Amino acid sequence: MSVDQSPVSKRIFALRSDQPSIFSIDCTGQDYRLIIDGLDGVPDGIQVDKGRSVVYWTNMGRRHIADDGTIEFDMEDGSVEAVDLEGKNRRSLAGNGAFSTPKQLHLDAGRELLYWSDREGGAVWRSRTDGKELTCLIDRSSVPGGRRAILNQCVGVAVDYANERLLWTQKGPAKGGQGRIFCAGLEMPAGQTASDRTDIEVLLSDLPEPIDLEIDTKRQVLYWTDRGAPPYGNSLNRAKLTPDGLVDPQVICVGFSEAIGLAVDAAAGVAFVADLGGHIWRVDLSTGRSEVIFALGRITGITLS
């Protein structure tokens, strides 16, 4: 996404999880268009390549209710899929047991690459946009507790091109105040693997429950949603990205209902946040004022294109 595009020409593309589908609206919350419905599992992350007329999304797979009432994703049946902008030619790009529950998705359209986090898999993956060259970049299975430990679950993902770094979130327990934002080199250190690479660093820790990430590459600002507990959770946040880490983290606004999806139009000075309460919010980045522009079902990932 180019942050210098006119906001008039952009649309918000979103995923609905209660009736799994993809839809788009304009940036005022009007002109609803259903792209495709009847999706399998739980869709979570979305990206759009308008130049190639393709929508990409992640499917967390099937969920079930455990004996204690919690929702679990314990089958390796997640997938990364694609469909034409007109809702035709749906295809599965990656999955088939290779990973567990893919979450936020990042598209590098120029290099034709996709990146995503795998929550229950405790990993971050990359592939070509056709699903080929599937590569595990981060594998937290060697960290105490293993890949399914809640502290090791990877959720949000972004690429810091200026510093050649991969960023991701590990949200920790629900409302637990143990969330973290990590980084590692975009390319694997020589002679190392996803499970033993030594270049992983913690950029921020003790966050309520960080979820999705997005970077304003022109201004080198990292934005993220957090669905944790008040007073700092269910919030939109930002910090300045530097070669040495993150500087001056700020809470922009609070009050969302389980904040998940994030799309930033820095040139227009606004961000859009989606929450599981079924809202899409418009946030003024200079004042922190927020307003609901759309409401429907349960919304997870969003993107601007």
CATH number of 7-304: 2.120.10.30
pTM over 0.85: yes
Q: What is the pLDDT of residue 2?
A: 30
CB count in 10 Å sphere of residue 292: 16
Q: Report whether 3 contacts 263 (CB < 8 A).
A: no
Q: What is the pLDDT of residue 9?
A: 77
> pLDDT 10s digit of each residue in the chain, 305 long?
333 344 457 999 999 999 999 999 999 999 999 999 999 899 999 999 999 999 999 999 887 666 666 666 767 889 999 999 999 999 999 998 899 999 999 999 999 999 999 999 999 999 999 999 999 999 999 899 988 899 999 999 999 999 999 999 999 999 999 999 999 999 999 999 999 999 999 999 999 999 999 999 999 999 999 999 999 999 999 999 999 999 999 999 999 999 999 999 999 999 999 999 999 999 999 999 999 999 999 999 999 99
Domain residue extents for the chain: 7-304
Q: What is the pLDDT of residue 70?
A: 63
The two three-digit tokens of residue 272, written as one number: 């859009």
Q: What is the pLDDT of residue 75?
A: 76
Q: What is the pLDDT of residue 252?
A: 98
CB count in 10 Å sphere of residue 117: 32
Strand, coil or helix: 129: coil
- What distance in Å separates the CA atoms of residue 264 and residue 268, rounded to the nearest whole number? 9
Q: Report whether 7 contacts 270 (CB < 8 A).
A: yes
Q: What is the pLDDT of residue 68?
A: 62
Q: What is the pLDDT of residue 64?
A: 65
The two three-digit tokens of residue 222, written as one number: 């990292």
Q: What is the pLDDT of residue 40?
A: 86
